[in-house]
């Protein structure tokens, strides 16, 4: 013989009226589900065994009822405040969009700096270029740059943004000047703090408000099954 957790939800009103709703629902359950180990509220008494005006949120009220009601005892009533699922609050959303705009601007300037860098390499007068790392002499016209990635996300951050440009096919070192690479790195470094801030703001949820118009009761408990 087991137990099934069952309850009803009733909007706050006169307790006498709530008790009437409960008794009616118990009768209804007996009619629909039977009187023998149905696992439904029809297995509980028509009387409410105790009122607990705790004003919890919905899931806490469910938990409280499940923890505090004993099978074969009359149903318990516990109050809660119904409200929509917590969402990112409005102020946080406004701040997030400011950071998103900053990131979009930084990505634009990154793309521009990347194009400036590779254009400068392509348009150099001399056809030959020397690799400072392995001393290879390379023909500029056959070289291809690393693609410019503008992908980033909140989890991975910005480490995937390419900063190498043209590179030596022999030793894979960048053929761009240090100052060109530095310009790109500086832009990339400015993106990460905005991503961090967005992550932080996304966690700011609307507060749990005890709105008297949203007060309800959970009534029920463990029903023999």
Binding site for Zn ion (CB under 5 A): 131, 133-134, 136, 168, 170-171
The nearer residue to Zn ion, 13 or 170, going by C-beta atoms, is 170
Nearest approach, Cβ of residue 179 and Zn ion (Å)? 19
**Residue with Cβ nearer Zn ion (134 or 189):** 134
Q: Which of 33, 39, 69 is nearest to 219 (CA)?
A: 69
**Residue 169 C-beta: closest distance to Zn ion, Å:** 8
DSSP structure string for 49-70: EEEEEEEEEHHHHHHHHHHH--
Comparison of 136 and 225: residue with beta carbon closer to Zn ion: 136
Strand partners, 4: 223
- Token pair recorded at residue 216: 């309800």
Minimum gap (Å) between residue 136 Cβ and Zn ion: 5
CB 149 within 8 A of CB 157: no
Neighbours of 57 (CB within 10 A): 16
Pick between residue 169 and residue 193 the one whose CB is nearest to Zn ion: 169
CB of 117 to Zn ion, least distance (A): 18
Per the CB < 8 A criterion, the answer to whether 9 and 215 are in contact is no
């Amino acid at each position: 013989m087991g137990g099934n957790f069952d309850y009803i939800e009733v909007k706050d009103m006169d307790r006498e009226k709530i008790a009437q709703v409960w008794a009616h629902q118990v009768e209804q359950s007996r009619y629909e589900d039977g009187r023998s180990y149905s696992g439904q509220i029809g297995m509980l008494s028509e009387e409410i065994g105790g009122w607990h005006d705790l004003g919890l949120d919905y899931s806490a009220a469910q938990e409280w009822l499940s923890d505090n009601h004993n099978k074969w005892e009359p149903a318990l009533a516990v109050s809660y405040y119904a409200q929509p699922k917590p969402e990112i609050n409005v102020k946080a959303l406004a701040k997030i969009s400011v950071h998103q705009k900053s990131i979009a601007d930084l990505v634009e300037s990154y793309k521009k700096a990347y194009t400036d860098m590779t254009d400068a390499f392509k348009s150099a007068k001399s056809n030959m270029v020397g690799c400072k790392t392995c001393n290879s002499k390379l023909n500029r016209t056959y070289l291809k740059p690393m693609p410019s990635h503008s992908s980033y996300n909140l989890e991975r951050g910005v480490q995937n943004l390419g900063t190498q440009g043209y590179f030596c096919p022999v030793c894979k070192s960048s053929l761009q000047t240090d100052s060109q690479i530095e310009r790109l790195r500086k832009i990339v470094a400015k993106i990460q703090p905005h991503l961090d801030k967005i992550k932080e703001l996304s966690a700011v949820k609307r507060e749990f408000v005890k709105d008297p118009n949203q007060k309800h009761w959970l009534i029920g408990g463990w029903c023999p099954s």
